[in-house]
A and B are shown apart, each in its own frame.
Chain A
Amino acid sequence: MSNELTVNDHIPIELRTEALEDLLVERGLVDRTVMDNFIKTYAQDVGPLNGAKVVAKAWTDPEFKERLLANGTTTVAELGFKGPQGEHIVVVENSDDLHNVIVCTLCSCYPWPLLGLPPSWYKDPVYRSRVVKEPRAVLAEMGLDLPDSQQVKVWDSSSEVRFFVLPQRPAGTEGMSEEDLVPLITRESMIGVALVAAP
């Protein structure tokens, strides 16, 4: 090979990852099936569908909603949603007067049991640097123009508390069942960078 890599070269991140895994597996320190299970859990099983179920239930069951806003952690656990990055969940409700949006400026804290792993833009320096300084401008760039009359609260997750946005139920969905509402509720609406649209 003419352009062989040496230990003094920059090692591409994919290859670094492969090398570390290879070293640890070879020494029996890591089991590839355990890794596969972590990946499968967050690629397939734990995602924003969980959060959508919570929101749809809150929209259709006032007592559930009251409990959810008073104690997020125990109330989402009623639906089986708990686990890593869900030690203490605080649910914040959007209304005509108030729009909430979540971020983690220091890393990528995110309510995994309800939303799965965060999308890349959430972890990007652009979002993390700007949404705490000019949230209306950032949301407008993302296609969400908020009226001046609506107060904005930004929640920067810096402890093990995980914030979760309860979006507004869109007009025109009054007759819809909890089940039918679920597919309308997007990940972005539960972070607070979009509204839920009527079908």
Chain B
Amino acid sequence: MAIQRASGIADFGGTQGWGPMPTIDRNEPVFPEPWEGRAFALGLLSMRLSGTNLDSFRHAMNRLDKDAYLEGGCYGRYVQGAENLLLDSNIIAPGSVEARAVNLSGGSADEPAAPEPQKPDYAPTAGGSIRAIEAAPRFTVGQKVRTKVQEAAGHTRLQHYIQGHVGTVAIVEPPQVLPDTHAHFLAENAQWVYTVAFDSRELFGPDAEIFTLNTDCYEDYLGDAS
């Protein structure tokens, strides 16, 4: 399957125009509406059903356009991401959800036949995302590193707001599969991950609030800047 681009909407860090924080209901139910629980469960189940993985699922949500991404909040994304994965693997036919929705609501629509599944050629080498690897970490705590600048062809976990900036390695985290290739079943590409500390003024200029931004960077995202 051809690699599909993310819409870009999910990469929120540092973007503007979203307004003030909403009032917080500290007693908010886990699933405020019953459908949200159903959508959550469908999201979790869709990975196994489609023969994919957590990174593919995240990318399936990140491919949603802005309106779809924001509709129904987190669990709206879950169920639409699930649908994308199930369509990709030919578990459900295009148009089948819409036709069933029409029929469930008292209308009448022809439903496409169940298709022949075409799951990706993918099997994980172990459970979860952490892997043991032989390579030594390329960077050490305290080392200056610069994040690369990229427009990813597919999935990535390298946020735009840290791209091209210099930070300092704060923690060497366990090696993990690389989401950029794992999401597309190209390779696990397990590699060291680093929690990198950035000065807020490096990211947002001299007038920024003063704080430290820590975030995780896969080794492929970094170059030496010492």
**Which positions in A face B, CB cutoff 8 Å?**
1, 4-7, 11, 13-24, 27, 29-30, 34-36, 38-39, 42-43, 47, 87-88, 90, 105-108, 116-121, 123-130, 132-138, 141-142, 151-161, 186-188
Contacts and interface: CB of A to CB of B under 8 A. Distances in A.
Closest 3 CB pairs of A and B: A105-B13, A159-B216, A13-B72
A88 B32 CA distance: 29
Given A6-B102, A19-B100, A133-B13, 6 more contacts: A16-B97, A17-B42, A107-B10, A142-B21, A154-B212, A159-B216
Nearest to B29: A43
Contacts of B133: none
A15 B101 contact: yes
Contact of B101 (A19, A119, A135): A19
A111 B97 CA distance: 32
Nearest to A124: B22
B122 interface: no
B14 A24 contact: no
B181 interface: no
A117 B16 contact: no
A134 to B, nearest CB: 5
22 contacts: A4-B106, A11-B97, A11-B101, A24-B45, A29-B49, A43-B37, A105-B161, A106-B157, A116-B30, A118-B74, A120-B73, A128-B12, A132-B13, A134-B208, A135-B211, A136-B209, A136-B211, A153-B212, A155-B214, A156-B159, A159-B129, A161-B216
Interface string B120-155: 000000001110000000000000000000000000
A22 B129 contact: no
A105 B12 CA distance: 6
Contacts of B204: 133
A19, A43, A108, A187: residue with the most chain B Cβ atoms closer than 10 Å:
A19
A23 B92 contact: yes
Interface in B200-226: 200, 203-204, 208-218
B193 interface: yes
